[in-house]
Every structure is written in C-alpha cells, then in structure tokens.
Structure 1
Amino acid sequence: MFDMSEKEAEELKDIKKEDIIDWYHTYLRQTSPKCRRLAIRVWGCNTDWKEADVQVASRQVIEDLSGFKNSSEFYPGLC
C-alpha cells in the first residue's frame, strides 16, 4: 500500500483533541477500569533466543520516569 500515509492523514483529519483526551482517560489513566498497560521487549541483532525466553519472567515497573531516565546507563545522551 504505497498510499498508506495519505490514507492515515485522511483518517486523522476527523480526530479531535477531545477524542485523544477521552481515549487517554479510558485506557491509560490508572484509575480507569479499562486501563491497559504497554509492554515493550527489545532484542539486539545478536540475541540468543534461548536466553531471551528465560529473561521474559523478569520485569521492571517504572514508577518515576524522570528518575529512571536520570539513572539509566542506556543512551545517557538521549535521556
């Protein structure tokens, strides 16, 4: 679909700021009964998949995003 950008732009014309705010309050605000979480898993190109499957059980919940960025050793120039 070479015209995907145009189709997306056409659809986005109908979205209003209030729609985004309502979506946020429904799906991202912790007090909402429909609150959803986003989990992201990133692997490098030299990943050992057997080792990656074992690490799935470990997780980190980030409560303070600014503190996490400041203490992160990953990409310190971007944080």
Structure 2
Amino acid sequence: MEVKPLRAWRYARALGLRELSRITGLSPQTITALEHGRSRGYPATWRKLASALGVEPEQILEYRRAVGLDASEPESSDA
C-alpha cells in the first residue's frame, strides 16, 4: 500500500485546493487544516477525500500515524 500525505495525493492528481473542495464539498479551509495536521477530521471527511483522490482512506491516515499526527477516528461518522 502506497502511503503519502494528503497534500502529496492532491498534487499527484494535479488537483488544486479549490478543485478538491468542489469535488468533495469540503471547504478549502477544512482541507488545508487537514493537510497541515491542524484538524483530525471525521471518517466521512476522509472517505470523501480518499474517493476524490482515488485512494483508500487508510493510505492517507497511515501517513498521519507514521509522522505522529492524530489519525484516530472519532465515534461520529458525520462530516
């Protein structure tokens, strides 16, 4: 399984922040906070991002774990 940070997946797909925001319905601020580790996100949020990027959520979350960012999933599945 290839593991990369969220921003690297976005760049690899040649997606700008606004384009990923449009595709996922997430605000650019939310995506930026996730990319910089300032937000942990919800499972539904990670699923939206992973789907838009064509990867499994675990491929993004595993990187966060590897670098010591919180990648635990809260109980709520709301975005």
Q: Over alpha carbons, which structure has the higher Rg?
A: 1
Larger fraction in helix: 2
Using CA pairs under 8 Å that are at least 6 residues apart, name the structure with larger relative contact order, 1 or 2.
2
So what's the TM-score if we normalise by structure 1?
0.20
TM-score by length of 2: 0.20
